Structure 1
Amino acid sequence: MLKTVSDAYSAKMVGQERLRMSLLISLIAGGHILLESVPGLAKTTAASTLADTVKAQFKRIQCTPDLLPSDITGNQIYDAATGSFRTVLGPVHANFVLLDEINRSSAKTQSAMLEAMQEHQTTIGGEVHHLPKPFLVIATQNPIEQEGTYELPEAQMDRFLLKEIVEYPSPAEEFEILGRIDSGVLDPDRHVSSAIGLDDVDMLQDVASRIYVDPAIRNYIVSITYVTRNPAPYIGEERARYIKYGASPRASIAFLQAARALALLNGRAHVLPEDIRSLRHLVLRHRVLLTFEADAEGIRSEEIIDQIFASVPTP
């Protein structure tokens, strides 16, 4: 089943193996993912292809400064024929929702996604509407064009299970992309030949939730998140001063959920310490917040995260 999804995804996408794995982990773990990259690196294609491989409903929302919360969640419209209001659900009511350039929408609009992402529901005119299952938000942001953007609040960043940095393709991969364009593989109207259903995704999520996690692994996770909040005794005062805020308990939960999904993808019924280590940047890069001084000196969060992991004994 997992091979079916991977093969169908790879038939349309060139390279981007890290992105493929991150999207599958988010899907199986039932979390949301934030993608960051310069334009043109197939983030939208990746999201739509994943939705196509599981025959899920896919909606894309282009975020702009004038986007309203109701443009996402939906609204009540007066029907003159009946003399009453009827509810029109917004595009967030889909299995896969791509929020393109999420940091271009205002803080008010971004906050409209909090209920949807956390509670899997929206409230329109005092009436609660539950979102379909599975529900996955794939948000993108562009790090190089900051004019007219609104930085995501920490509360919303924390609700993303993972944050992936999408890199440029290699020359060989870019050559292959040109070939697939000529062959029509990347035609938007061309769907994948094999896929799984939403019931299969529910089953994968259920299996992942029962993957065994040893108490020693759980203690490893808790120790890591603790060090992000109390770094000085472990990585030294010099490096600790670069950390503004450490990770919340959501980081520990994210490690647990994502590690189970990764173990399932690797064909294992148990989580290994290597799973936690391989997920460290995905889980912590948007949760370990650095100071302005760190940014000015060119210190990246991944460097600090690596030092934190080096300071915690591996079980």
Structure 2
Amino acid sequence: MNALADLQRFLNTSIIGQSEFIQQLLVALIADGHILVEGPPGLAKTRAVKTLASGIQASFHRVQFTPDLLPADLTGTDIFRQESGEFKFQPGPLFHNILLADEINRAPAKVQSALLEAMAESQITVGRRSYGLPELFMVMATQNPLEQEGTYPLPEAQLDRFMLKVNIDYPGAIDELKILALNEQEAQKQELEKPVPLTKETLFEIRQEVMQVKLAPQLAQYIVDLIIATRGQNSALAGFKQFIEYGASPRATMALARGARAKAWLEGRDFVTPDDIQTLAYPVLRHRLLLTYQAQAKGMTSDAIIDKLIEQVAIG
């Protein structure tokens, strides 16, 4: 649809040098998934999601995660109303459509568990009552890989709830010059022309169209073969077992299929190609593979393991 194409162009104009990140951010949006973004400070992670939210008729909230954050700071809490003599629930930031969880790994386990329920079940629980979240609900979380002091590793169950994990790096020299020019333009109050905001109804229609994108049976089998290989259950690829302690869950299978369909839709196709699957394999799998000590000792990364998977798992 033209509205989403306009939004993508606007994002690429506002966030320079991160076109792959922008595409995967939109993949998560139209595939109804959450996204985890890791990269050094100053790479426009926060700016990207704020710009995305400004292009959608949806409510947005940013929460800076800190070690003293409490679950109620996300979920909301029951407040006693003296005039009525009753408790009334005051909703928290989780009731917005798009939530930016900045530096998510700085919050302790209790806060993570509150966020996990929201991401997993689209509801939160306060006291004895549960409250449903909006139909449009997306979490974009950021992590800074450079600082480890005062951080809490995310539990594997929560990592698995993120459809994609995107690693971003510094832009090149040409893009950095463009960033400088854009900064000067904004300093002079020369705002970029914003597209017509995407309505929620249009977004839901797009999500329905994405699920109609054709996934050929042999490509569906290819997705399953990739996931099964991460668990060492394919006898022809048993060598991966020495590198992967725990493989990807069926949730990764569904995420890879949805993500491949969304990428195809964004590129104007009504069918999935092997390239769609291979491109999305990295953000879908990199946070779901728990590497063995042997792999870590050899300096192997999840992306290196995924390279080998793509090399060795045959299509069809």
The aligned amino acid for 1:197 is T
- For residue 195 of structure 1, report the CA deviation from its aligned partner: 2.4
* SS in structure 2 of the partner of residue 220 of structure 1: helix
The aligned amino acid for 1:86 is K
* SS in structure 2 of the partner of residue 195 of structure 1: coil
Between the aligned partners of 2:142 and 2:116, the Cα distance in structure 1 is 16
- For residue 298 of structure 1, report the CA deviation from its aligned partner: 1.5
Partner of 1:34: 36
Partner of 1:13: 15
The aligned amino acid for 2:107 is S
- For residue 311 of structure 1, report the CA deviation from its aligned partner: 1.5
The aligned amino acid for 2:47 is T
Between the aligned partners of 1:107 and 1:72, the Cα distance in structure 2 is 13
Report the TM-score, using the length of structure 2 for normalisation.
0.94
The aligned amino acid for 1:256 is A
What percentage of aligned pairs have identical amino acids? 43
* SS in structure 1 of the partner of residue 282 of structure 2: helix
Which of 62, 65, 77 matches 2:64?
A: 62
Between the aligned partners of 2:176 and 2:236, the Cα distance in structure 1 is 43
More deviation, 90-99/128-137: 128-137
Q: Is the 8 A contact 1:263 1:271 kept in 2?
A: yes
Partner of 1:298: 299
Correspondences of 1:222-233 after superposition (within 5 Å): 222-230=224-232, 233=235
* SS in structure 2 of the partner of residue 35 of structure 1: strand
Partner of 1:244: 245
Partner of 2:143: 141
The unaligned stretches of length 5 or more in structure 2 are none
How large is the Cα RMSD of the aligned pairs? 2.0
The aligned amino acid for 2:75 is T
Structure 1 pair 293–218 and aligned structure 2 pair: CA distance change class (3 A): same
More deviation, 161-170/176-185: 176-185
Between the aligned partners of 1:120 and 1:47, the Cα distance in structure 2 is 20
Partner of 1:132: 134
Between the aligned partners of 2:258 and 2:275, the Cα distance in structure 1 is 15
Between the aligned partners of 2:74 and 2:298, the Cα distance in structure 1 is 38
Report the TM-score, using the length of structure 1 for normalisation.
0.94
* CA deviation vs aligned residue, 1:217-261 (integer Å, no higher than 9, x gap): 111111111111017844564x53221111111110111110111
Q: Is the 8 A contact 1:211 1:270 kept in 2?
A: yes
* SS in structure 2 of the partner of residue 184 of structure 1: helix
More deviation, 144-153/127-136: 127-136
Which of 42, 48, 61 matches 1:46?
A: 48
- For residue 291 of structure 1, report the CA deviation from its aligned partner: 2.1
Partner of 2:267: 266
Which of 74, 85, 100 matches 2:102?
A: 100
The aligned amino acid for 1:297 is K
* SS in structure 1 of the partner of residue 278 of structure 2: helix
The aligned amino acid for 1:220 is Y
Partner of 1:82: 84
* SS in structure 2 of the partner of residue 109 of structure 1: helix
Which of 175, 178, 202 matches 1:176?
A: 178
